[in-house]
Structures are given as structure tokens and as C-alpha cells.
């Protein structure tokens, strides 16, 4: 029942495909006690891992790195063997998006990385932080004062990384949403009433209010797949008109 594929993918294998994966409670919270992990269960983790194994690159915001960890291998040995048997790199690189470069070069996400990470930032980020992080990751500029999503996607494509899989957080999804670059959203609905004032899965900043979450960037998505495990619901939405190759059904 949990056979799940994380990429609808265009027919052209060299066309970038941007997929996001999130979990939310039934009352709309994206975190429980400050972390998304508390909303999931074993079935959710199974889907989480299946989505990762198809990725050319895993893209994550810096705030998610600080909150969730991400140190060491992100795929199991079995998943890495699955990838290599299909001609893929054993482990996809991790790409971290940060406008301020508020990241510790000694963090385990760098120290234990199976593949040298990428960091996407902007020209306005502190030069001393960029220099310090350059020793543990490839730091790439993708904008001046704010993130240019088109440049980021283009940089990944230039490295042969077309299947772009992101695990958040809300600000990153909101930025891609505002740029209309979300091709796929895999959303787990957790059967919890979380309460509180936790964030939604997407935070879209309005003009001149970077990161404030006051703006809107509404886009219609088409429901492509529904799975259920106990009371956990797994929803897969695609950009309208996207075609799913028969091999990925």
C-alpha cells in the first residue's frame, strides 16, 4: 500500500523537476514542539525515504538544518544500493539554502556528509561566513539581496541535478511558490490536532517584507495520488498538465 514514487517528472529527463515533501497536522500545523518529526510515524518515514531515493539532490533551508539535524547519510544502505543498481549516484548531495549563512562549519551536516554539500546564498550574505563555509561546502551565489529561484534551479541543472527534492522549510517552499517553481507537492496529513501557533507548510513573504509571511502566491495543483495507512493520509499533487511516465506510476 505504501508503494510511492516521489517524482512525476516531465518526459524530458533533462528538464528540472522541483518536488517538495511536507507533513502537517489535520489542523494545519507544520511542526509539533518546534519540529516536523513529531507529526510523523513509521509509515510517514517509509514514504519520506522512498521520496529521497529518487532525488538527484536534496534541497533544505538552513532553519530546517538547525532544527532537524541532517548529519550523516540521509539514505539507508539498501536505498543506496537501489540507486547504484539503476545507474544513479549512491547518495545525492545535500543543498542548503541560506540568505544569511547562519551555519556552523563544524556542524555534523558538514563533518559527516557522505557527499560534499552545496550552499546556495546571496551576495549580501556576510563575506566572512561565506569564506568559512567554503572550506566544508561549495558555496554558490544565486542572487543579490534575495534568492533567485531560477538561478538556483539553473545551477543545479548545470551540475546534472534535475530531480530536485526539497524537505522544507516553510520559507523555502514559499519562495519557490512565489516564483511558480513547484512541480510537485507530497503532503502527509497527520491525524493530530496540534493546536498552538505553529507555522503552516508555506510562508510567502510580501513585497518588501522578506520572510514576514504576509504575502500570497496562490497556485492550483492537481491531485494525482492518495494513499492511506491507518489514520495517516498521503497526498500527492502535481502541477496541472504534468504527465507521469508509465514507469513512475
Domain ranges, ordered by start, for the chain: 13-198+220-233
pLDDT number for residue 207: 45
CATH architecture of 13-198+220-233: 3-Layer(aba) Sandwich (3.40)
pLDDT tens for each residue of the chain, 249 residues long: 344 444 455 567 778 999 999 989 888 888 777 676 677 677 878 888 889 999 999 999 999 898 887 889 999 999 999 999 999 999 999 999 999 999 999 999 999 999 999 999 999 999 999 999 999 999 999 999 999 999 999 999 999 999 999 998 899 999 999 999 999 999 999 888 887 777 888 887 654 333 334 456 678 899 999 999 888 899 999 988 765 544 444
- Phi, psi dihedrals of residue 141, rounded to the nearest 5°: -85, 130
Per-residue pLDDT at 210: 37
* DSSP assigned state of 205: P
pLDDT at residue 212, as a whole number: 38
Q: Can you tell me the distance from the alpha carbon of 37 to that of 31, in angstroms, rounded to the nearest whole number?
A: 7
pLDDT at 11: 64
Q: What per-residue confidence (pLDDT) applies to 10?
A: 59
pLDDT score at 161:
96
Q: What are the cell numbers at 67?
A: 532544527
pLDDT value, residue 46: 85
What's the pLDDT at 151? 97
Task: Copy the grid coordinates of residue 163.
Answer: 530531480
Rounded-to-integer distance, Cα 104 and Cα 129, Å: 9
| Cα distances (Å, whole numbers) of residue 202 to 115, 125, 224, 233, 247 | 28, 23, 20, 19, 30
pLDDT at 58: 97
Whole-prediction pTM value? Answer: 0.86
Q: What is the pLDDT of residue 42?
A: 78
Amino acid at each position: 500500500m505504501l508503494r510511492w514514487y516521489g517524482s512525476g517528472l516531465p518526459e524530458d529527463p533533462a528538464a528540472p523537476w522541483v518536488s517538495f515533501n511536507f507533513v502537517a497536522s489535520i489542523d494545519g500545523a507544520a511542526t509539533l514542539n518546534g519540529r516536523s518529526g513529531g507529526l510523523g510515524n513509521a509509515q510517514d518515514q517509509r514514504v519520506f525515504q522512498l521520496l529521497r531515493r529518487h532525488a538527484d539532490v536534496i534541497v533544505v533551508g538552513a532553519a530546517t538544518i538547525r532544527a532537524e539535524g541532517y548529519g550523516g547519510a540521509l539514505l539507508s544502505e539498501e536505498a543506496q544500493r537501489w540507486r547504484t543498481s539503476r545507474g544513479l549516484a549512491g547518495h545525492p548531495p545535500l543543498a542548503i539554502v541560506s540568505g544569511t549563512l547562519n551555519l556552523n562549519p563544524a556542524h555534523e551536516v558538514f563533518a559527516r556528509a557522505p557527499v560534499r554539500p552545496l550552499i546556495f546564498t546571496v551576495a549580501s550574505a556576510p563575506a566572512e561566513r561565506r569564506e568559512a563555509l567554503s572550506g566544508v561546502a561549495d558555496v554558490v551565489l544565486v542572487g543579490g539581496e534575495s534568492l533567485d529561484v531560477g538561478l538556483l534551479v539553473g545551477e543545479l541543472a548545470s551540475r546534472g541535478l534535475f530531480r530536485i527534492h526539497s524537505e522544507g522549510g516553510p520559507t523555502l517552499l514559499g519562495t519557490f511558490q512565489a516564483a511558480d517553481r513547484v512541480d510537485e507537492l507530497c503532503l502527509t496529513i497527520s491525524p493530530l490536532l496540534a493546536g498552538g501557533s505553529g507555522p503552516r507548510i508555506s510562508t510567502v513573504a510580501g513585497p518588501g517584507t522578506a520572510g514576514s509571511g504576509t504575502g500570497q502566491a496562490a497556485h492550483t495543483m492537481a491531485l494525482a495520488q492518495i494513499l492511506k495507512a491507518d489514520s495517516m493520509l498521503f497526498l500527492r499533487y502535481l502541477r496541472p498538465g504534468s504527465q507521469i511516465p508509465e514507469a513512475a506510476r
